[in-house]
Homo-oligomer: A and B are copies of this chain.
Amino acid sequence: LTDRSQNPTHTWPRLYVDSPLGAGTVLTLARDQAHYLVHVLRAKLETPIRLFNGQDGDWAAEIAHISKQSVELRALRLLCPQTAEPDVWLCCAPLKKQHFDDTLTKATELGVSRIIPILTERTQIREVNTARCRLLIKEAAEQAERLTLPQIDEALPLARLLAAWPSDRTLFLCAEAGSACPINEALTNSRLDYKAKHALFVGPEGGFSVAERDAVLKREEAVAVRLGPRILRADTAALAALACWQASCGDWPSTKGPVK
């Protein structure tokens, strides 16, 4: 969607790296990432690139050396300092492959801070390849100009998540009809500031069971929200809820631009 011609650094290949960044820092990419940079992103020795590590902001960097085995990079100057990001978790049942991949990618673009796959009564998909998820998330974050990677947890049973639920985190359960509150109304009531801790719960295809819904809503931190009169697929509901959350409680009300 971005008009990359407006800001030349947006056309530079951008990589997440797992090491500290500062002016002059030299780092070596291992085989996989070196391959990705050279063969997928098609970087050459003279290509300017950008690096981020989730902590030190966005850096302009140069390629110091390319060999068949590895690539050496040198961080040059800070393009954008690290800033605070909204704190919102997405707790959602895993879905069939393409649908869950899309959920991970789009949730990353939409600025989710943590994704917790939850196993519920009606969850059909019980196995999540977390390493593969991390890779998808990393690539989405690189392209979305995010300064962090969202965390992804190992899948866990809903009951176990609830038992350890932090009492300072509001939990919005996407539910249908019943006594659920229209989402914007609920979000406006609980809108706080960047330090607000929130989570969005989305069930599997087929929904949460009544017992599960009751168990969630028994918690004091829980609010049932509804996303209109139509039936949404689970992946659509997750993204819609996250977009509404960002627009109301997240960093969308700000007029600060993307990473420069």
Give the B-binding residues of A (Cβ under 8 A).
Answer: 1-6, 10, 98, 102, 106, 109-111, 143-146, 174, 176-177, 180-185, 202-203, 205-210, 213, 226-234, 236-237, 239-241, 243-244, 246-248, 250-259
- CB pair B258 A230 closer than 8 Å: yes
Q: Is the CB of A207 within 8 A of B109?
A: no
Query: Are B240 and A243 in contact (CB-based, < 8 A)?
Result: yes
Nearest neighbor of A122 in chain B, beta-carbon distance: B3
Take A206-B4, A243-B239 as given contacts and tell me if A231 and B185 are in contact as well, using a CB distance cutoff of 8 Å.
no
Contacts of A208 in B (CB 8 A): 3
Find out whether the CB atom of A258 lies under 8 angstroms from the CB atom of B243. Answer: no
Known A182-B253, A244-B244, A258-B176; contact A232-B3, beta-carbon cutoff 8 A: no
Bound together, the chains give a CA A223 to CA B138 distance in angstroms of 33
Could you say which residues of chain B place their CB within 8 Å of the CB of A251? 228-229
List 16 extra interface pairs beyond A5-B210, A184-B248, A229-B256, CB under 8 A.
A1-B231, A2-B206, A2-B207, A4-B206, A6-B210, A109-B236, A110-B230, A110-B232, A110-B236, A143-B233, A145-B230, A183-B247, A184-B247, A226-B255, A228-B252, A239-B240
B144 touches A230 (CB 8 A): yes
6 A-B pairs with least C-beta separation: A240-B243, A3-B207, A177-B257, A228-B252, A184-B247, A243-B243
* Closest beta carbon of chain B to A187's beta carbon, Å: 8
Nearest B residue (CB) for A246:
B228
Docked-complex contact A1 and B228, CB < 8 angstroms: no
Which residues from chain B contact A253 at a C-beta distance below 8 Å? 182, 184-185
| A239, closest chain B residue (CB) | B239
Q: What CA separation (Å) do A256 and B177 show in the bound complex?
A: 7
CA separation between A252 and B203, bound complex, in Å?
Answer: 19
**CB-based contact B206/A3 at 8 Å:** yes
**CA of A144 to CA of B248 in the docked complex: distance in angstroms?**
25
Assess A258 versus B177: contact at CB under 8 Å? Given A231-B145, A246-B228: yes
> Which residues of B lie under 8 Å from residue A144 when comparing CB positions?
230-232
Which of chain B's residues have a CB closer than 8 A to the CB of A236?
1, 106, 109-110, 239
Chain B residues near A106 (CB, 8 Å)? 233, 236, 239
Q: Would you give the shortest CB distance from A161 to chain B, in whole angstroms?
A: 18
Q: For the complex, what is the distance from the CA of A1 to the CA of B247, rounded to whole Å?
A: 22
Residues of B within 8 Å of A174, CB to CB, are 1
State whether A230 touches B182 (Cβ < 8 A).
no
